Amino acid sequence: GAGVSQSPSNKVTEKGKDVELRCDPISGHTALYWYRQSLGQGLEFLIYFQGNSAPDKSGLPSDRFSAERTGGSVSTLTIQRTQQEDSAVYLCASRGLRTDTQYFGPGTRLTVL
């Protein structure tokens, strides 16, 4: 079946602009995660959604970052007033119920000029 998909694959933006990154998880997966991969910080957890429960936002680096998940499926990560330090690859992963294996999408490479 289809894996996790993300769009766009690349995004170049100017400092101060807002960006939206999209994730389509594997159908039926109730858990969805966002991670950030950057040269300086490695792979960092950002936010977690499980079904209709309130998300765990403990990994978000600042209040410029937010995410939502509509209908328990597609998720959007929004970064407001982008800064150069936001440049990174943003990865989405999904997980089925009663398993600990996460499946990752190809990522969105964000470059803030």
Partner 1 sequence: GDSVTQMEGPVTLSEEAFLTINCTYTATGYPSLFWYVQYPGEGLQLLLKATKADDKGSNKGFEATYRKETTSFHLEKGSVQVSDSAVYFCALSYMNYGGSQGNLIFGKGTKLSVKP
Under the binding rule (CB under 8 A), the answer on residue 90 touching partner 1 is: no
Under the binding rule (CB under 8 A), the answer on residue 74 touching partner 1 is: no
Under the binding rule (CB under 8 A), the answer on residue 31 touching partner 1 is: yes
Binding to partner 1 by CB under 8 A, coded x per residue (else -) over 34-73, reads -x------xx-x--x-x-----x--x--------------
Give dist(CA 68, CA 88) in Å, integer: 20
- The bridge status of strand 31-38 relative to strand 5-7 is unpaired
End-to-end distance of the chain based on CA atoms, in angstroms? Answer: 37
Which of 20, 23, 3, 19 has its CA nearest to residue 101?
3
Among 24, 60, 67, 95, binds partner 1 (CB under 8 A): 95
Q: State the DSSP H helix or E strand holding residue 48, giving kind and residue range, or none if neither.
A: strand 42-50
Which of 110, 107, 96, 98 has its CA nearest to residue 27?
96
Among 33, 79, 94, 110, binds partner 1 (CB under 8 A): 33
- Quick one: which segment of 12-20, 61-69, 71-79, 90-98 binds partner 1 (CB under 8 A)? 90-98
Which residues sit at the interface with partner 1, rule CB under 8 A?
A: 31, 33, 35, 42-43, 45, 48, 50, 56, 59, 91, 93, 95, 98, 100-107
